[in-house]
Chains A and B, each alone.
Chain A
Amino acid sequence: MFDDFFIRALVAGIGVAFVTGPLGCFVIWRRLSYFGDTLAHSALLGVTLAFTMEFNIALSVFIISSLIALTLIQLQKRTNLPGDALLGLLAHSSLAVGLVVIGFLTFIRFDIMGLLFGDILAVTVDDLLIIWIGGALILLILKLIWKPLFASTVNYELAEAEGLNPDRAKAIFTILMAAIIAISIKMVGLLLITGMLIIPAAMARNISSSPQKMVIYSIIGGLLSVILGLFSSLEFNTSSGPSIITAALILFILSLFKIKQSIKLKN
């Protein structure tokens, strides 16, 4: 069954959507959109590393993204630069260094478009294993740190005062972000991964009244985006990443009508 590349892509995309749904909610709640972008851009460096050292792509992206995240935390402590400037610095310099390294790798044929925007043809059975096992692990860990992470998202001091150890939860969450980027890079491409995190969650925010509902709708939105996006990618011969994100955008636009209705009801 997994012989068909399209089935593989679909199974991979569904696995990714289950994980990006809940993580995306936290990205929105904690205002981490640009943090996600930075990690994703640094992934290019991870990919080139994988090619030069003949290493597993997901693993090397995970390592590089984690290192960038730790660097960011250190820079925040040691410099007086604002957070967004540091994010921009890390995002663009790691992207640039990644591209320069690719320039040196003339002996390898590089599908740079596939890397930036996702390539459904490239998903292998090994990738499926990484996505589903890695994804299950991410979700399990997220469930374990849910209480302190959510409480500190609402209010850091309350969580700290009532003994929930929010700093630890935040550090673990950062690692989870690096992990989801690593496992979804082949599907969505590194320029659009943050879109997969944010857009379904933003759609869910428009139609939900509680955090749990937002997580569920975000997962459903992600699943629909993957399915619609991949089918249209097959139909119109477009890159998988942009097609998925465009489908997510359409769902987001539809969700705006629901807001309009609820505003009307209030008035």
Chain B
Amino acid sequence: MSNSQNILVKLKDAGFCINDKWLVKGVSLQVEKGKIVTLIGPNGSGKSTTAKIALGIYKKIDGEVEKYTNKIGYVPQKISIDWTLPLRVNDFMVLTENLNKEIIDEALSLTGVIHLKDKNLGDLSGGEFQRVLLARAISKKPDLLVLDEPVQGVDFTGEIALYELIKKISDELNCGILLISHDLHTVMSATDHVVCLNGHVCCSGSPLDVAKNNEYKALFGEQASQILSRYEHKHDHIHTDEGEIKKN
């Protein structure tokens, strides 16, 4: 099923320790082209740390990271931008790569913030800024997208639209996505592989597998398990309706 040529990033028993405290330990996972891998877990379970290990931001790590691409788009969970910089949305879009105007405009339109492109970054609301961050990450047409809670602070309808967009991007660009999310409802319908973290990998597999897992139930409660399995069910239906994948 997994072709080694399609692998974009692979973690082997990776961990990160700072001030004698393990933030996360023993994580193995891989992201392949066209696949969405979602990290879930409670606060402080090491989701963002795992993403940063995969990205190579943390260098002194335990275990191994193999990266097979340099075309990466990253939406960090927290971003503190210094407002001593006069930075407009347009300037921010070309931060790590020079892009032409059409590509910038297209990406900003996709995330619904094209009207803000001449605005100062400091004048945006939290949700607007989040949409700009996502637009910047996808505009580079990356092989690998790492999205750390990409829709935080986005309004309810926007949230659903952005998750649909993320799914669409994964299909169109055939890029791999490492997604971190708290929202079990929306995410699970699109996810190919779920890794449930709690300082270590507590379980992983397809959304349905994870939902059945006892450790997952212990961590998130019975109700969360029902959400997950319900969406997995819906996910199957959508696919059979469209005739793409005949799973059942």
Question: Hey, which bits of chain A sit against chain B, CB under 8 A?
Answer: 28-29, 31, 147, 150-151, 153-155, 157-164, 205, 208-214
Contacts and interface: CB of A to CB of B under 8 A. Distances in A.
B82 A29 contact: yes
A158 B76 contact: yes
Q: Of residues B70, B87, B120, which shows the largest number of chain A Cβ atoms within 10 Å of its Cβ?
A: B87
B56 interface: yes
Interface in B84-122: 84-88, 90-92, 95-97, 120
A90 B227 CA distance: 60
Contacts of B87: 154, 210-211
Given A147-B96, A158-B96, A163-B72, A153 B86 contact: no
Interface pairs A-B: 7 shortest CB-CB: A161-B55, A161-B74, A162-B96, A163-B70, A151-B95, A160-B57, A151-B96
A212 B92 CA distance: 12
Interface of B: 52, 55-57, 70, 72-74, 76, 79-82, 84-88, 90-92, 95-97, 120, 140, 146
A205 B84 CA distance: 8
Contact of A154 (B70, B88, B95): B95
Contacts of B76: 155, 157-158, 161
B133 to A, nearest CB: 9
B81 A155 contact: yes
Contact of B72 (A150, A162, A205, A211): A162
Q: Of residues A147, A157, A159, A211, which shows the largest number of chain B Cβ atoms within 10 Å of its Cβ?
A: A157
A162 B86 contact: no
Given A147-B96, A150-B95, A158 B84 contact: no
A209 B120 contact: yes
23 contacts: A29-B82, A29-B84, A29-B85, A151-B95, A151-B96, A153-B82, A153-B85, A154-B81, A154-B85, A154-B87, A155-B81, A157-B55, A157-B76, A158-B74, A158-B76, A160-B56, A162-B74, A162-B96, A164-B96, A209-B86, A210-B90, A210-B91, A211-B85
A157 B57 contact: yes
Contacts of A213: 86
